[in-house]
Amino acid sequence: MASLQFNNVIKRYGSGKDALQVLHGVNAEIKDHEFIVIVGPSGCGKSTLLRMVAGLEEVSDGQISIGGKVVNELEPSERDIAMVFQNYALYPHMSVFDNMAYGLKIAKVPKEEIKTRVDKAAKILELGHLLDRKPRALSGGQRQRVAMGRAIVRQPQVFLFDEPLSNLDAKLRVQTRLEIQKLHRELGITSLFVTHDQVEAMTLAQRMMVMNAGRMEQFGTPEEVYNRPATTFVASFMGSPPMNLLKQAPNADFGGKPGAILGIRPEHLTVGATGWAVQVDTIEMLGAERLLYCRMGGEALIVRTDESLSKAPEIGTTIHVEPRPDRLHWFDADTGKRI
């Protein structure tokens, strides 16, 4: 197990004036035993960064270090990492045991040691009763656990997860998320987990990197990222539904700042007799809560309410919502950065 550092990491494709730069100086220090999630929309550079750690992409500039050792020039096999991909990449003709043991056999690990490692991983992942089965006889969740087991038996310094849950249905994603959390608690191996799903990021991460267009917009705990987003991008990307971002503050009663965007999360708006006048456009019923999609002048506003609001307002009517003054966020209108 080891720490991991990114020192001004840059990635370009091509050279000269036609070069396309896709990562723009990523800097971060990941501690030994940490579980870090890299989250962002498609094309933001998160998988490219992970593949650079794995040695599957070259570093154009800057340094990546594992355990204090710069690994830029090392082959993937020399980096002591294990990777779990989006597709399970299991050998269909091999049993679960043989799939998990294959890398160790290639490395000429003694048979007794292989069996010990595979049995231990199978116990952790509750695969012991499936070791004789072929992949075709397994569910999607079981196949993904086999892929994780294949990584565990390697006993690497760093685990790399590249969107491993995206091929699973919603129920299996939740279940496998819990298994990954349990796995990290038991093994404590430094881990990087890439996802575009902000719910996965919030539930799995000890700290998270929020990526946008090849830049790291924020690096912090889920609480820090959610409660104090560094930019309007982070504010709008992290959270479901996203933070409301108002280009024109309704009034100056809440400490309005010139040239600033006002941010307020939907759960920090309360329906009442006073406050901002908004028109209800659409309502989503989500069991214990409702989402009111409203309009205030030319701007959209989402309000989250719970069962305490006994009766939903009529669509098309005007209601009043009161923002919590201690939950307002202000961002520079030009740069998008937090004020």
pLDDT at 249: 62
| pLDDT beneath 70, residues of the chain | 1, 249-258, 308-310
Class of domain 241-332: mainly beta
pLDDT at 252: 46
d(CA 157, CA 34): 12
pLDDT at 176: 85
d(CA 46, CA 216): 9
pLDDT at 78: 92
pLDDT at 251: 55
Strands 299-306 and 269-272: unpaired
Q: How far is CA 224 from the centre of its chain?
A: 14
- Please compute, for residue 119, the number of CA atoms within 13 A of its CA located in the half-sphere on the CB side: 6
d(CA 134, CA 94): 6
Domain ranges in the chain are 4-229, 241-332
Report the topology of domain 4-229.
Answer: Rossmann fold (3.40.50)
Contact of 278 with 296, CB cutoff 8 Å: yes
The model's pTM: 0.88
